[in-house]
Copies of this chain bind each other. A is one copy, B any other.
């Protein structure tokens, strides 16, 4: 099955009504090579949307598996597009994230797969996040 990837189709496919904020924020993710924080989105949409709307839009997208959160060692919450859309709730996002210590950009390294981790007995693995930090190819 071939799925269209226009913004409209993505929203429709996920049973979401097509609104300005959703269109704009989703477009922003498609144009961005990397991850975005709430504050980034606020700025880059020129503050045309309420903070609350952005929070809710992000949450909706996460719930639908359109974007995913990236764990970071500092406090910040980052979001990035899921390359292959995940089914609702069952999110699997098995690529490595890279955060540049210099320019602070976050990359989804889609071609670097997450290695297997063997856990001690009794531990049941659901999800693995790998976050590498260092200097990116731009800053090098």
What is the interface of chain A, defined by CB distance below 8 A to chain B?
Answer: 68-75, 77, 96, 98, 101, 109, 111-112, 115-138, 140
Residues in B whose Cβ lies below 8 Å from that of A135 = 123-124, 126
8 Å CB contact of A69 from B74, B112, B120: B74
> CB distance A115 to B117 under 8 Å?
yes
Q: Min CB distance, A78 to chain B, in Å?
A: 9
How near does chain B come to A34, taking the closest CB pair, in angstroms? 13
Q: How far is the CA of A74 from the CA of B127 in the complex (A)?
A: 13
The reply to whether B122 and A132 contact each other, CB–CB distance below 8 Å, is no
Most B Cβ at <10 Å: residue of A98, A101, A130, A140: A130
A124 and B128 within 8 A (CB) = no
A129→B98 CA distance, assembly (Å):
10
